[in-house]
Amino acid sequence: MIPARLSPRYLGLLVFLPFVSCAYMSQVGPQKGGIQADGGENFRLIPVNSRADLPDSGRVYGIGQIPPIVQGSSYSDKIRVRDSLRFVIADVTEESPFHTGGEPYQYGPLEVPADGKVSIPYVGEISVLNRTVGQIAADLNERLRPISNTAQASVSRVGRIPHTANVMGEVKKPGPVQLERDKITSMDLLAAAGGPEREEYRYNYILRRQGVDYHFDYQAFRQRSFPIEEGDLLTVTTDTSNRFYVMGAINQPKAMQFPVPRPTLADALSAASGFDERRSDPSGVFVFRKGNPDEVYTFNLKEPTALLLTQRFQIQGEDLVYVTEAPLARWNRLILQIVPISQATYNINRVANTR
């Protein structure tokens, strides 16, 4: 016979049981035993107990192809199109058309046209393109002799439109960079833009020349410096292959960039602010690595030797570091849910007993 009215004790128990069940069965991520049981079937499980168990290396740097020379040096002291020239002619002969009786005769400034020729009164056209100001002055003096053997000319460049290369992306001062000295290199170009916003190893460096992209990691870009040409475009972008993940029973689970160029497992755990001491199981630390086959490296950090090995184990891009939860943490969650439920049951009984 079903009682018409459940006693408070039974009612408290019915409320209590579902919560106990959920608390007992819940878990945060895979457990150490489950990972070890799956090894060999879905991935290669590698216990790291000595230096012999460590993989060969971490991130490899130094990859990059130097672009071929297309235009040559972007800077030249010779006259080029759109330079501005001033001509000064001094003459003491009063009959000379260039005699002014005071200041020397000045003509200009003149902007050099595309054909590279400028016209001087009484002299005619002079070719100036790809010549130095000294060569132009010597030619002009030769042309002046039939007009006046006392005339003396000088030529100066008073302006020019600079050749430029451009830098964009994650640098401190993106924009055009003038190429107004000889032998400006790729490192000079980066320095002129203020350098990367953060540490240089965090970025990829892409040089576009004549529509072709040339890729460098930070080490190749630094070690294989090359001449910059007019119109080059340098783009600095975050190197996403330097990303890894730290998850599980740690203080700050997250995806993050390498904290140093070649981080170790110790660096990775430190960057995540270490273990959550209330929940973590140091005997169950795993590094998941994609490959063919996939690999999972296991560490028991309760052993002193394993702690030393974390300083030698090299993290690679897209690695996932996982710290398992201690069995005691599950019981703690259970207790935390039992206490308020028990208190509620006790209060129900007190109310029932006062009737």
pLDDT tens column, 27-61? 556 665 556 656 556 788 999 999 999 998 778 88
d(CA 29, CA 212): 46
- Picking from 159, 192, 225, the residue at the C-terminal end of a domain is 159
- Share of residues in the chain with pLDDT > 70 (%): 79
**What digits encode the pLDDT tens for the residues 139-169?**
999 999 998 888 898 999 999 888 899 999 9
This model's pTM is above 0.85: no
DSSP codes, 46-72: EE--SGGGS-S-S-----B-PPPPSS-
Task: Indicate if the pLDDT at residue 9 is higher than 90.
Answer: no
Residue 211's pLDDT is 93
Asked if residue 144 belongs to a domain, the reply is yes
Residue 35's pLDDT is 63
Domain residues for 181?
Answer: 164-241
Asked if residue 68 belongs to a domain, the reply is no
d(CA 145, CA 128): 19
- Same domain for 263 and 292, yes or no, is yes
Omega before residue 293 within 30° of 0, cis: yes
Please give the mean pLDDT across all residues of the chain: 83
Residue 335's pLDDT is 45
**What digits encode the pLDDT tens for the residues 308-321?**
999 999 999 999 99
Closest CA to 151 of 118, 120, 129: 120
Q: The domain that contains 111 carries what CATH number?
A: 3.30.1950.10
The DSSP bridge partners found for residue 117 are 127
Give me the number of domains the chain comprises: 3
d(CA 177, CA 194): 11
Residue 101's pLDDT is 75
Residue 23's pLDDT is 45
Q: Is 105 left (phi over 0), alpha (psi -120 to 50) or beta?
A: beta
